[in-house]
Structure 1
């Protein structure tokens, strides 16, 4: 039987704990390629093993995902009592205890399907906030049949351009995000493929392109980018930089644009096909299967491959569609995150300026709302280009991690935006290591919550804090105990007072990594120097209001 990775296991445990604490609808955030289908399969099996009389619906928007999720469950749980209701797959099962559904096939079929105790929504970011939609009508209809029904969402991008975070605001379906895995962490742990990004010589002029619903108006956008000279320049660059890459995806601004890029690639002797929502489903399946088998080098697309597309050996993604949607940007880049035999990394060619506009994908987190788009006529720059190798790196980088170029102070671009100060750009390297020059502890008191142990890491003039929630219970306490053991303290203390008294048991890290999460900074990595213990530190015990 397939086994869960540690972060998949942690995501389900966090959901169960959320339920045990009286919570309702929860959201799990796993990056593209992190194995949402296996997490769904384990959730289904474990739920029915604990409550055999429940009925579960797994719903998503495209038949490919319906089929993938169904097959994943049978691989994880052979003989599972599962069926499919999807017109696109030619099946209309209605009485299965576990039912995998395509939204367009079932949104108005609640009467035929009956009630469900648990609904799992894959690609939950596609649920609009309005109740007058297919998802809204389907979920409200099921809720009328089973008032205590719970909904679980899984997504790589827990926000929408039109309504913000999925767990905030009026009309939200999900109470909160119960678990979020970070792209950078999974790359460093070798669950996802490293990404490298090159700045490109070709760029688009979007002057005069209007916006509707927060993103560019499609017709105006395509008219602005679909010019032969721009296309030829971009494709020449793709061919030069991608000659050693075996599977390319190019995301385009419209059907005609996708066809123009396809024709330009073919003219250079490479196999390429274009797919869009206008491509008949049978033809599209044949093209994708040929691409998966390696008979087609490149696919150009508009609107159909940014979600639900699983070809692990994709090792080049060309971003040719400007977008103000952080979610769409992450989904497109995510097509290259899966690992595959012989694949060392994936190259992201950013013609649309998306890396600079939205930042590194490992710095985009649901802990803070996606950054607001720059005002009309302003450019918000969140990355810079190495003048030697053209890699894109974080704004404050002084030495390029790709080629070793060293910036002098005057080379750094001037900008007013808040910098992604310690994030590398789409790379395995992650945040830089900071030398710890001192360490201190304190009791932290917050009204309405148990006290916590506050650890302070002093790195020169900067201090980074971490809250060790020994007395909170649940996931917070489990994380606190794991941290205490990781720091060499042995059996964790039960109280803050005991933790302060036993601070000498801990080992002082020589260096730490920090990453910005919304308004705050979090410590995400530790290095320990051999033979070093605690020295020159203060241990303090006092109450501090939150």
Structure 2
């Protein structure tokens, strides 16, 4: 395959624009943020080693700004930005216009006219130029028969030396995705995405199913929130009667759409979503992510019937109707946008405060993109946005101090919360959801419906107490031994006494008949005694490790919380841990050692 085998190396020619704020032709051009600048230069450095680079930056972190500047600074032949859907053409074109990059668009004339009007409305002029050395195209156009037969398109494509593919997790070596990439076989290639793992398990690496030779990772979602580049969120998980058990996962790695629609019809989800919106997001600009066009229309109708203005949009919606609805959402009275596979990837909807998960998904990429739609901050005026403190204060005092996410379909249980750390794998894996990984278990508050770490009590958001279902086992009380009933605590104490039995008492016990009236044959006594003593010694070592782990926690942290943290971190309560056999004890010691550095970094 030419797109994978042709490895043109060597550092490409750039002319970086390092100015801070400049005004040209009445337009203000912003320099990259510090973290964006680092990603930008890592990309340039990587191009000196390899031909195909993947850059990972969270939704809202500025992927489009980074690659637009890369195109702006490129000085080694023609450039092309490729989008995965025609609906995104306008947004990428406007991003290039913000940097005053003249570009052509490979699209029907009606699309060109519509995007030109948006340029004039935003910039006072159009940056679309049919003779420009930069082009924007959809993957469908680039992979079409026309692209391979039209002399003008072929002539342009043959001169492209930098190809940028937005939402780069789509591009494997199969189908029209692969055909589009292979059209740029003489180019350096940059794939950009917020989520480089696919639901179908295919890997983006050149040695798996894709093209990528080197991956560059930008900052995490949590870091961007901590620095005031994204806003924090409140996550609500109200109950739903939607049952997705037994629904087949297709080859794409997500739920079968037809079966999902049938389950939604049999549930109360549509009406529940309206009620949840009224409870948690009344008056807030909200994007609802639905499963299919019919369900989206029914959802919008349910909102309107409740007196809440809403519109349903999808890829089937006429471009002009869609643009008008988005404008009404941003600037007028339209409060809810219900969409199907339209706003979850790449499509920016300014002004959105709340996202509603009205579709279950096994796709981590889709889940992260849904949440990312509402993380863009709205800064209050009068603050220094060049500092972390200024940005955080501007968010806190602005019209959007936090985003709101409503998830009645339990997507968070499949993928973890949106700001949890992720270890990306581009070498492929088994299809389906990746799960939240090595993270602390969460509990959903029965009062306010927000998830929180299970080791906390009461709920940190509303103060409601969590009542255990029982007190007869450590699991029921999350390892908080003080919450056990007397009989359970006595049983644990007796088990510890037996495990710590002296050598002499243990030896005498070998002569006592068991429940079947049998005793251990004397020839085996020596081996059992040595095993007992070895386990005692290893448990002594374990006690030191547990004391070390507990001792590193804040002194003012309640002992009960320390016990709960230990239980949820290691899957066993402290008392039971001191009754384990030699092998199990060694395994727990190793686990504590392995996780200690990570725990310390995250304040245990």
- Cα pair distance change 1:190/1:459, threshold 3 Å: farther
CA positional deviation for 1:409: 7.9
Please name the residue that 1:229 is paired with: 268
CA positional deviation for 1:411: 8.4
CA positional deviation for 1:232: 1.8
In the alignment, the residues of structure 2 paired with residue 407 and residue 107 of structure 1 have an alpha-carbon distance, to the nearest angstrom, of 56
Which one of the candidate residues 163, 167, 173 is aligned to 1:119?
Answer: 163
Q: How does 1:16-55 map to 2 (within 5 A)?
A: 16-20=44-48, 22-46=49-73, 48=74, 52-55=75-78
- Cα pair distance change 1:71/1:399, threshold 3 Å: same
- Cα pair distance change 1:42/1:293, threshold 3 Å: same
CA positional deviation for 1:300: 1.1
Q: How does 1:493-504 map to 2 (within 5 A)?
A: none
Please name the residue that 1:401 is paired with: 460
Equivalences, count: 416
CA positional deviation for 1:174: 0.9
In structure 2, list runs of 5 or more residues that go unmatched.
1-28, 114-127, 149-153, 380-398, 476-545, 553-593
In the alignment, the residues of structure 2 paired with residue 282 and residue 204 of structure 1 have an alpha-carbon distance, to the nearest angstrom, of 34
Please name the residue that 2:95 is paired with: 72
CA positional deviation for 1:319: 0.5
Task: Give 3-state SS (helix, strand or coil) of 1:187's partner.
Answer: helix
In the alignment, the residues of structure 2 paired with residue 219 and residue 241 of structure 1 have an alpha-carbon distance, to the nearest angstrom, of 30
Which one of the candidate residues 180, 184, 194 is aligned to 1:138?
Answer: 180
Asked if residue 239 in structure 1 is aligned to residue 278 in structure 2, the reply is: yes
In the alignment, the residues of structure 1 paired with residue 135 and residue 595 of structure 2 have an alpha-carbon distance, to the nearest angstrom, of 38
Asked if residue 358 in structure 1 is aligned to residue 358 in structure 2, the reply is: no
Q: How does 1:338-487 map to 2 (within 5 A)?
A: 338-341=376-379, 342-368=399-425, 373=432, 383-398=442-457, 400-405=459-464, 460-461=548-549
Are the counterparts in 2 of residues 313 and 339 from structure 1 also a CA contact under 8 Å? Answer: no
Task: Give 3-state SS (helix, strand or coil) of 2:71's partner.
Answer: helix
Which one of the candidate residues 98, 106, 119 is aligned to 2:142?
Answer: 106
In the alignment, the residues of structure 1 paired with residue 243 and residue 197 of structure 2 have an alpha-carbon distance, to the nearest angstrom, of 27
In the alignment, the residues of structure 2 paired with residue 217 and residue 162 of structure 1 have an alpha-carbon distance, to the nearest angstrom, of 13
Are the counterparts in 1 of residues 197 and 424 from structure 2 also a CA contact under 8 Å? Answer: no
Please name the residue that 1:90 is paired with: 112
**Structure 2 length normalisation: TM-score?**
0.62
Q: Deviations over 1:297-335 (max 9, x none)?
A: 001121212112212321111101011111111111111
Asked if residue 273 in structure 1 is aligned to residue 311 in structure 2, the reply is: yes
Task: Give 3-state SS (helix, strand or coil) of 1:211's partner.
Answer: coil
**Structure 1 length normalisation: TM-score?**
0.68
> Which structure carries more helix by proportion?
2
In structure 1, list runs of 5 or more residues that go unmatched.
416-457, 465-516, 527-546
Task: Give 3-state SS (helix, strand or coil) of 1:101's partner.
Answer: strand
Please name the residue that 1:3 is paired with: 31
- Cα pair distance change 1:373/1:53, threshold 3 Å: closer
Are the counterparts in 2 of residues 209 and 224 from structure 1 also a CA contact under 8 Å? Answer: no
Q: How does 1:321-340 map to 2 (within 5 A)?
A: 321-340=359-378
Task: Give 3-state SS (helix, strand or coil) of 2:105's partner.
Answer: strand
In the alignment, the residues of structure 2 paired with residue 383 and residue 372 of structure 1 have an alpha-carbon distance, to the nearest angstrom, of 25
In the alignment, the residues of structure 1 paired with residue 474 and residue 273 of structure 2 have an alpha-carbon distance, to the nearest angstrom, of 27
- Cα pair distance change 1:168/1:239, threshold 3 Å: farther
> Which structure carries more strand by proportion?
1
CA positional deviation for 1:460: 3.3
- Cα pair distance change 1:19/1:340, threshold 3 Å: same
Asked if residue 318 in structure 1 is aligned to residue 362 in structure 2, the reply is: no
Task: Give 3-state SS (helix, strand or coil) of 1:26's partner.
Answer: strand
Task: Give 3-state SS (helix, strand or coil) of 2:312's partner.
Answer: strand
Please name the residue that 1:508 is paired with: none
Please name the residue that 2:300 is paired with: 262
In the alignment, the residues of structure 1 paired with residue 245 and residue 443 of structure 2 have an alpha-carbon distance, to the nearest angstrom, of 22
CA positional deviation for 1:382: 5.4
In the alignment, the residues of structure 2 paired with residue 522 and residue 93 of structure 1 have an alpha-carbon distance, to the nearest angstrom, of 54
Task: Give 3-state SS (helix, strand or coil) of 2:268's partner.
Answer: helix
CA positional deviation for 1:169: 4.6
Please name the residue that 1:216 is paired with: 255
Task: Give 3-state SS (helix, strand or coil) of 2:419's partner.
Answer: helix
Q: Deviations over 1:90-117 (max 9, x none)?
A: 3797653221222222323152433211
Task: Give 3-state SS (helix, strand or coil) of 1:305's partner.
Answer: coil
Are the counterparts in 2 of residues 202 and 234 from structure 1 also a CA contact under 8 Å? Answer: no
Q: Deviations over 1:235-258 (max 9, x none)?
A: 222212211x42111111222211
CA positional deviation for 1:524: 6.0
Please name the residue that 1:56 is paired with: 79
Asked if residue 282 in structure 1 is aligned to residue 324 in structure 2, the reply is: no
